[in-house]
Amino acid sequence: MKKVFVGASWKMYKTVEESIEYINKLQDFMNKKFEPNSNIVVYVLPTYLSIDAFSKNIYHPNLKYGSQNCFWEDEGPYTGEVSPMHLKNLGCDFVEIGHPERKNILKEDLQMINKKIKACIRNELTPILCMGEEEKPKKTEEAKNYIKEQLAKLFEGIKGKDIGKVLLAYEPAWAIGAKQAASIDYISEMMVFIKEHLASKYDKNLRSGQLIVYGGSVNTETAKNILAIDENNGIFIGRASLDVELFEYMIEVALKIKQ
């Protein structure tokens, strides 16, 4: 049975107290709605300051947590950075890597992101790798060529079996924060292409085994159709997830589709 991920990344919002209140409400909801052995994984990525509180307050087996970033070394003289080894020690399962805001505002490049992917794999953390084209293409082939070049740099020096440990978050940058997500047909075509490309270049098993979710202006109107895409393993939500009731609605949509 296909595993489905419903994820939330809070950016730089919510205090520790607000985070605990949110998590308590979310777990109450999940206790009522989830059946044992559900194949739906819910994860929340708060600010660094709330991760320790999450480790002490999260108990639902289908609710996971992680970080919105990490450094590429486990420890050392790297002032202000956060170790993937320390995140693992705090019970994190996921680390978001390569979000467009970090690339555009903090000038992270693909080489840095590549090293962070390797650091996550080394520490048995699941990298949620944000990837996708920067601008809305006039032709789909333009986007596919861009994706090929991007993936070659992101996965340089990484074996096919380890690429399979990455949760790809297909997020065309032009759709992030937009009023409308990319069209269903477009998302589906790009996800098929990404899986086929990885399978042909790295490991044939990636065609069926590679996990990929969609992010980029997912809302209550688009979630159902996006989750129904055959190649898709879930949705990754940004600012919209700050509202716990809205996030619960997204989870409920996923539950209904899986039924």
Please write the tens of the pLDDT for every residue from 105-122. 999 999 999 999 999 999
pTM of the model: 0.95
Topology at the third CATH level for domain 4-258: TIM Barrel (3.20.20)
CA gap 70, 83 in Å, rounded: 6
What is the residue extent of each domain of the chain? 4-258
Q: Find the angle CA(86)-CA(31)-CA(43) to the nearest 5 degrees.
A: 35
Chain segment 122-155, per-residue pLDDT in tens: 999 999 999 999 888 888 999 999 999 999 999 9
CA gap 254, 232 in Å, rounded: 12
pLDDT confidence bin for 178, thresholds 50/70/90? low
Where in the sequence numbering do the catalytic residues fall?
99, 171
Chain segment 190-242, per-residue pLDDT in tens: 999 999 999 999 989 888 889 999 987 788 888 999 999 999 999 999 988 99
In order of 158, 205, 255, the CA distances from 209 in angstroms are 16, 6, 21
pLDDT at 86 over 80: yes
Q: What mean pLDDT is predicted for residues 250-257?
A: 93
CA gap 13, 46 in Å, rounded: 8
